[in-house]
Amino acid sequence: MQLSPVGILADVFWHEITNHSKNIQLGQFVVMPNHIHGILILDGNEINDMKLADNNIVQTLHGDTVETLHATSLPPQSPTLPPQSPMITPQSPPDKNQFYSDISPKPKSVSTILRSYKSAVTKHVNRLNLCDQFAWQERFHDHIVRDEEEYQRIENYIKNNPGNCKKDKFFS
């Protein structure tokens, strides 16, 4: 894949993630003409017996948590995780600041890491006046990899993606 100036920025700032996010390792990554693929390995040295279940939260041995923050993610249920804010009910007037705090990406979440990454790329794209060549899609697809076989399948997909880019429905 021959990278455009925007692609070079996307590549450089991807490799900067580990300088700004503790307990993150980078897996396979590729910049495509119209999207990126990357694996973030969330590492607290060891994952505490895969406290991953159905709630999309990883708790590390150090007590750190990392959330995927899907819109459909379930709230934390473990007593070791921070308690959730009380539900806003019709009887209690909603506190606007608390409401936005509750729905905002939390520190150490995949959402926050990717928001920072996309922000850094955007800042430098704007600084270099490359704006007409670039726009992020609003959201991202995230997926929790649950075993080595799945990891290898996804890693191979990312490695082979450049050879398949002409089959992409958005390729022009």
First and final CA of the chain: distance in angstroms?
15
Look at residue 104 in the predicted model and tell me its pLDDT: 75
Mean pLDDT of 85-101: 64
Look at residue 14 in the predicted model and tell me its pLDDT: 96
Tokens (6 digits) for 15 = 């490799």
pLDDT exceeding 90 applies to what percent of the chain?
33
Taking the C-alpha atoms of residue 59 and residue 43, their distance in angstroms, rounded to an integer, is 10
Model confidence at 27: pLDDT above 60? yes
- The number of CA neighbours under 13 Å toward the Cβ of 163 is 5
Q: Which of 2, 35, 3, 5 is nearest to 131 (CA)?
A: 5
Look at residue 169 in the predicted model and tell me its pLDDT: 64
Model confidence at 151: pLDDT above 80? yes
Does residue 68 contact residue 110 with C-beta atoms inside 8 Å? Answer: yes
Phi–psi pair at 29, nearest 5 degrees: -150, 145
User: Between the CA atoms of 144, 147, 152 and 154, what dihedral angle is there, to the nearest 10 degrees?
Assistant: -20
